[in-house]
Chain A
Amino acid sequence: MIEIKDIRHQYNNNHEIVFKDWQIENNQQWLLLGESGSGKTTLLHILTGILKPTQGSVKINNTEIYQLSPKALDQFRGQHVGIVFQKPHLLKSLSITENLQLTQSLAGLEVNTNRIDEVLDSLNILSKKNSKPDQLSQGQLQRASIARAVLNKPTLLIADEPTSSLDDKNAQAVLNLLLEQSQLNHTTLVIATHDQRIKEAFTNTYSLL
């Protein structure tokens, strides 16, 4: 279960954003809706433990994440939160498999090649496992970045504007992949977007005004 409570965040220029309390049950799928500038990214960063809010608490699986030491928080994030960025951002110097091995070892987990193959297979890019990122197409890269996000079976899978730069067909495909993967890995899914096209797929919505 993920829970945020009494969150306020104030930037240096004194612009303060107040966020409604939010409770997410395990294995739920949520849409985080909001226009750009509404604080969507800020909330995502607070939720994933990379931006400490001025006030309030974030609990993931009963762990008060901002009470952890910086190093423990890094480790916690690696194990419990998976993030799909708008762009894939795989390390160019490493092959796909190596990127995924890095994901396991940075989270403090054992390198498990069976798990890596399993995830790559479920995303249909197992044949690319030894390729470097620049040898993959855009779609394959997106799949690889999803593979990285779900690899450690995180409690929370977050996708930040995963569809905004895609056409209808591809947007639908990525959305399906995310839904499918969150179910497959028993992961809670939160998609942050201002893309109205994918609204229908979700019953749970958290809107920022």
Chain B
Amino acid sequence: MSPFKLSWKNLWSKPLNAILNILLITFGTCILTVLLLASTQIEQKLENNSKDIDLVVGAKGSPLQLILSSIYYIDFPTGNIPLKEANELARNPFVKRAVPLALGDNYNGVRIVGTDTNYIGLYNLKIKEGKFWQEDMDATIGTTVAKEQNLKVGDTFYGGHGLTGMSDQHKEHAYKVVGILTPQRNVTDNLILTNVASIWHMHDDGEAHAHEGHNHADFKSEQETEGKEITSLLIQYRSPMSVVMFPRMVNQMASLQSASPAMESTRLFSLIGVGVDTLQWFAVLIMLVAGVSVFVNLYNSLKERTYDLAVMRTLGASRLKLFIIIILEGLILTVIGSLIGLAVGHGILQIIGSYQESSQARLTGLIFLSQEIYLLLIGLGIGIFAAIIPAIQAYRSNISKILAKN
């Protein structure tokens, strides 16, 4: 009969104690798993979406808000900037690539983004079906949009004013779906892309008619840009030198501000981080309590079993064998707890993900990280830590004394 079987049988001779200990470990590991998975995914999403964007230029306001609205499409834009000034910045020698964004409309909560072909290069977009937008009112949609809004190439739809509701529809112009993107695994999966002129059509109807026939909202001649506005400009630098010079230049212009995605993402994450830290300490505390509970359980059961263990020694069990049996009992409890905790953690995150409304930041429990091994190792460590004192006591026990006491 193996030591493992003995430990196992002995633990389950007191099922309530065993379950309590396993539950505590499960709870702690579960919280840690959820935190680990969620924070890794959020961090990854933040990074993926701002990967190649060095700077965002927009209207004065909160830099974080500018980043959130122009890169993650979560918050409201800070306002608009004159197209003329945007064009000047785009032509600046520090700038390798400048992508204009015109926001402000939605379709059933999906944001409609007016931009130009540079956007395709910036996010490395590929077409799954159809083609990229060319004419005014052409729309190329992300893969998630196509699935969730049930849109196919050739369908038409009306944009709604604002970023969420559809109460105020632009009935005069219908968008036509001309293409669907391949899955990008970033924010563009959840966007409807069109040209900037389409957005302008929606908003200043009188003027827009004058421009009908012009294909691109790209930066054309001076008189065309007069009075036009866009929401923001995504900038890619030409050289590292730009990091120092360019933001300062932008911020000196009266109506503009610049924000660095890297910096703001870090700031944002450090804000979330406080909550994550708190939860993490909470989980660590639970693990600690679990460790103490396993210890108390083993210690008490050892006291009840001193005679049994002494009898086992007379039957031929060595000191080492008793030591191993006790350690195994600690390990069985914590390893089972850790494994269940990991599984439940993944499950919970998957459930949270399925209830999340914004598909932009949807979390999933179906990814596995190498760091989870550490959670298992922590469980192992707690098991050994909790069992080591009882195990040493069993190892050292003087069987002659114990048997004589009877």
Cβ–Cβ contact B314 & A107, under 8 A: no
Binds B, one of A54-62, A83-91, A170-178: A83-91
What is the minimal beta-carbon distance from A102 to any residue of chain B, in angstroms? 5
Question: Is residue B240 contacting chain A, with contact meaning CB distance below 8 A?
Answer: no
Cβ–Cβ contact B399 & A50, under 8 A: yes
Q: Given A45-B403, A51-B400, A101-B1, answer yes or no on A75-B314 (Cβ-Cβ < 8 Å).
A: no
Cβ–Cβ contact A86 & B406, under 8 A: yes
Contact with B along A81-101 (1 / 0, CB 8 A): 101011101011110001001
Chain A residues within 8 Å of B312, by CB: 91, 102, 106
Contact of B316 among A86, A91, A108 (CB under 8 A): A108
Question: Is residue B272 contacting chain A, with contact meaning CB distance below 8 A?
Answer: no
Contact of B308 among A51, A79, A89 (CB under 8 A): A89
Chain B residues within 8 Å of A105, by CB: 1
What is the minimal beta-carbon distance from B77 to any residue of chain A, in angstroms? 68
Cβ–Cβ contact A41 & B404, under 8 A: yes
Interface residues of B in 352-406 (CB under 8 A from A): 399-400, 403-404, 406
Interface residues of B in 297-315 (CB under 8 A from A): 307-308, 311-315
Chain A residues within 8 Å of B12, by CB: 93
Chain A residues with a Cβ closer than 8 Å to the other chain, count: 33
Chain B residues within 8 Å of A94, by CB: 6, 9
Cβ–Cβ contact A71 & B318, under 8 A: yes
How many angstroms between the C-alpha atoms of A41 and B320 in the bound complex?
Answer: 26
How many angstroms between the C-alpha atoms of A123 and B6 in the bound complex?
Answer: 26
Cβ–Cβ contact B1 & A111, under 8 A: yes
How many angstroms between the C-alpha atoms of A208 and B109 in the bound complex?
Answer: 97
How many angstroms between the C-alpha atoms of A75 and B12 in the bound complex?
Answer: 28
Interface residues of A in 122-158 (CB under 8 A from B): 148
Question: Is residue B243 contacting chain A, with contact meaning CB distance below 8 A?
Answer: no
Cβ–Cβ contact B400 & A45, under 8 A: yes
* Chain A residue at minimum C-beta to C-beta distance from B12: A93
Interface residues of B in 217-268 (CB under 8 A from A): none
Cβ–Cβ contact A85 & B10, under 8 A: no
How many angstroms between the C-alpha atoms of A78 and B318 in the bound complex?
Answer: 10
Chain B residues within 8 Å of A86, by CB: 406
Q: Given A50-B400, A93-B10, answer yes or no on A85-B406 (Cβ-Cβ < 8 Å).
A: yes
Cβ–Cβ contact B315 & A102, under 8 A: yes
Contact of A79 among B311, B316, B403, B404 (CB under 8 A): B316
What is the minimal beta-carbon distance from B99 to any residue of chain A, in angstroms? 70
How many angstroms between the C-alpha atoms of A50 and B316 in the bound complex?
Answer: 11
Chain A residues within 8 Å of B319, by CB: 70, 74
How many angstroms between the C-alpha atoms of A102 and B315 in the bound complex?
Answer: 9
Cβ–Cβ contact B316 & A106, under 8 A: yes
Q: Is the interface of B mostly helix, strand, loop or mixed?
A: helix
Cβ–Cβ contact A92 & B1, under 8 A: no
Q: Is the interface of A mostly helix, strand, loop or mixed?
A: helix
Question: Is residue A48 contacting chain B, with contact meaning CB distance below 8 A?
Answer: yes
What is the minimal beta-carbon distance from B11 to any residue of chain A, in angstroms? 8
What is the minimal beta-carbon distance from A162 to any residue of chain B, in angstroms? 13
How many angstroms between the C-alpha atoms of A148 and B403 in the bound complex?
Answer: 17
Chain A residues within 8 Å of B307, by CB: 89
Question: Is residue A103 contacting chain B, with contact meaning CB distance below 8 A?
Answer: yes
Cβ–Cβ contact B13 & A85, under 8 A: no
How many angstroms between the C-alpha atoms of A105 and B307 in the bound complex?
Answer: 19
Question: Is residue A194 contacting chain B, with contact meaning CB distance below 8 A?
Answer: no
The interface centre, meaning the residue of A74, A77, A81, A87 with most chain B CB atoms within 10 A of its CB, is A74
Q: Given A71-B320, A87-B406, A93-B10, answer yes or no on A103-B399 (Cβ-Cβ < 8 Å).
A: no
Chain B residues within 8 Å of A87, by CB: 406
Question: Is residue B317 contacting chain A, with contact meaning CB distance below 8 A?
Answer: yes
Cβ–Cβ contact B406 & A77, under 8 A: no
Chain A residues within 8 Å of B1, by CB: 98, 101-102, 105-106, 111
Cβ–Cβ contact B9 & A98, under 8 A: yes
Chain B residues within 8 Å of A103, by CB: 315
Cβ–Cβ contact B313 & A74, under 8 A: yes
What is the minimal beta-carbon distance from B304 to any residue of chain A, in angstroms? 9
Cβ–Cβ contact B316 & A77, under 8 A: yes
Contact with A along B311-339 (1 / 0, CB 8 A): 11111111111000000000000000000
Interface residues of B in 142-192 (CB under 8 A from A): none
How many angstroms between the C-alpha atoms of A93 and B15 in the bound complex?
Answer: 11
* Chain A residue at minimum C-beta to C-beta distance from B317: A106
Cβ–Cβ contact B313 & A50, under 8 A: yes
How many angstroms between the C-alpha atoms of A145 and B6 in the bound complex?
Answer: 19
Chain A residues within 8 Å of B315, by CB: 77-78, 102-103, 106-107, 148
What is the minimal beta-carbon distance from A36 to any residue of chain B, in angstroms? 11
Q: Given A45-B403, A92-B13, A101-B1, answer yes or no on A83-B316 (Cβ-Cβ < 8 Å).
A: no
How many angstroms between the C-alpha atoms of A106 and B310 in the bound complex?
Answer: 13
Contact of A50 among B10, B308, B318, B403 (CB under 8 A): B403
20 residue pairs bridging A and B, Cβ less than 8 Å apart: A50-B400, A71-B318, A74-B313, A74-B316, A74-B317, A74-B318, A77-B314, A77-B315, A83-B314, A85-B406, A89-B311, A91-B308, A91-B312, A94-B9, A98-B1, A101-B1, A102-B6, A102-B315, A106-B317, A108-B316
Q: Which A-B residue pairs are the 4 nearest by beta carbons?
A: A78-B316, A93-B13, A51-B400, A107-B316
B residues near A, CB below 8 A? Answer: 1, 6, 9-10, 12-13, 307-308, 311-321, 399-400, 403-404, 406
Q: 11 more A-B contacts (CB under 8 A) besides A50-B400, A74-B317, A93-B10? A: A45-B403, A48-B314, A74-B316, A75-B318, A78-B314, A85-B406, A92-B13, A93-B12, A93-B13, A103-B315, A106-B317
